[in-house]
Structure formats: structure tokens, C-alpha cells
A = this chain, B = another copy of it.
């Protein structure tokens, strides 16, 4: 047990940002690296937008809007209104302060990497922990749906997740190199555990885990891998995770989540759809092969799952993070759970 080591947290957007904030509140700067999904990144209005990176940065800086759940607090929308007035696209809402982030990032990307820019922005906003985009190479999540393949933001924002989810793939993933600090953390001799934040397993965590060599490195390390279930009472707190799992034939429960993670081990291409889920369910794990997840934090409403958890260790608590106290509590419990594994 290494209770003073380095925690690697893998995070998507809002849910991930909440636990990441809790971890940042209780861990020293050098004891936490947060690696963030960039599969949702896209270009809009000529701006490079990195929604999950921004969610995590804004949250750790204490600048996020806790009511709306995304973007910045005290945000205004005057540029957006003016864009609509000029006949520009207004389906993706960009706040005035948020536009500053995208403008400056797009400008800096001419000469610097996303990792460098993210570190710079974080430092300027007073963040002392390391936030690392999963890769500086482009990866684009594509949702295969009953109305055809949709880039993530089209599926998520424009179509409000209404089309039926068939599969997800990650364009560019084969050529994307994991960010340097991501690899460095995975190879840190002082690595204590890997935490999969309560983010969407397919939209947010799968892209990170699909980067070349990541699952192999993760399984090679003898450190606990702990996930926090994003489900409460057979539903997702926010976003389309429950709908997507159901459309894949899985339940939005700890059980469905573990089945989903198991399918990650089956698919070499990164793509996850019905085939991978079915194959995963029918394939017996080879003797001695480590499962991806060692421990799972589940909500009280899913406590009945404990009896069916098999080899995966379970910690039951209130996983809903309504405020900073909740974030800190769930972070502390997760760290204590890690130390018991």
C-alpha cells in the first residue's frame, strides 16, 4: 500500500470534473495528475473547442457554473446573440468568457501543443495540480447511430442524444500518441492508483483508454484501478450514459458499467458496439489475466449489486456530488477504498 503516492485520475467533462475537484482538494499538487478526454474536441466557428478539458480546468479553478452544470459562472451570451443576428450558427452555445478560452487556445495552437496551452491556462487560473489532455494528436469520437455516423457534438448537442446509439468509434486513435505527462504518470514508480472518474464510460473514458498502449500499461502496473459509477438508481446523474448503455443491451447499473469496461478489453480497434459487448459477455477471462477494474465505488441506491460483484471490490456510499463538501467526501472515501484494496 502506498498511501502517499501519485494518483492518476482519468476524467471526462462535468462528472469527472467534480471528482477531480475533490481529489485536488485533498491531494498535494504532485500527488495528482488528471488526464482528460479530448475525443469530444471539435472546431466550431473556426475555434478549437476542448469541452472536457475546459470543464475540468474551470472546475478546478472554481470558475465553473454549478447550477448550469457546464461552462463558466457569471457567464454572458452577447457574442452568441450577435452571431445569430449575423446569420451564424448558434446551435452550440458559447459564453462570452468561454469564447476567450477558445480564441486564445486556437491562437496558441499555431505554435504550441494542447498540453502546453492547458498547463499555461491552468497555472494562470491558479490551479496547482496537473491537468493533461489525453493526447496532443486529434482524436474524434464518432457515434454510429440509426441516422448515420455523427460527430460527438452533433450527436450530443445538435441532436440531443435522440438518435439510437449503435456503436462508438474514435477516429485518429491509432495514430494518436498519449500525452507525455500521461505516459510519465503511468510509468511513475510512485504511482498509487488509477481512478476512473464518474464520467460516461463510452464517451469520456473509453477514448482515453483506447489510446495505443494505455490498457496494456494500465494492466501491467500493479496498482489498483478504481472506477466510480456514474449511475444512481439505474440512471445517469446527467447526460446520455443510461440511454447509451440500454441501447447497447446493458443496464445503467454497476453491473452494466463493469460489462462495458470488460468490453474495452475485447476491442482492439477502440470501437465499442453490440458485437464487442456480446463478445465480452461470452468470453471467459483467461486464467491469471487481470480485469481492468479492481474496485468500484457505487451509490447506496445500487447497494444490492454488492452480492453480484464477483472479484471486483465494492465501496458503497452517496456518490451524488451536489457541492464541494460532497466532492471532497467522495474523493476521501475513494482514496481510503484504494488503500484497502
Contacts and interface: CB of A to CB of B under 8 A. Distances in A.
Interface of A: 45-47, 72, 75-76, 78-83, 85-88, 95-101, 103-104, 106-107, 110, 120-121, 124-125
Contacts of A80: 100
A97 to B, nearest CB: 4
21 contacts: A45-B103, A45-B107, A46-B46, A46-B107, A75-B78, A76-B76, A78-B78, A78-B95, A82-B96, A82-B97, A82-B100, A82-B101, A83-B100, A85-B100, A85-B124, A86-B101, A86-B121, A88-B100, A88-B103, A88-B107, A96-B99
A341 to B, nearest CB: 39
A47 to B, nearest CB: 7
A302 to B, nearest CB: 40
Nearest to A43: B107
A104 B88 contact: yes
A47 B99 CA distance: 12
A80 B100 CA distance: 7
A81 B95 CA distance: 13
Tell me the number of copies of this protein: 2
A78 B73 CA distance: 12
A298 to B, nearest CB: 38
B104 A45 contact: yes
Given A85-B125, A86-B121, A124-B85, A79 B97 contact: yes
A79 B106 contact: no
A97 B76 contact: no
A99 B97 contact: no
A136 to B, nearest CB: 19
Nearest to A95: B78
A72 B86 CA distance: 14
A210 to B, nearest CB: 30
A65 to B, nearest CB: 14
B78 A47 contact: no
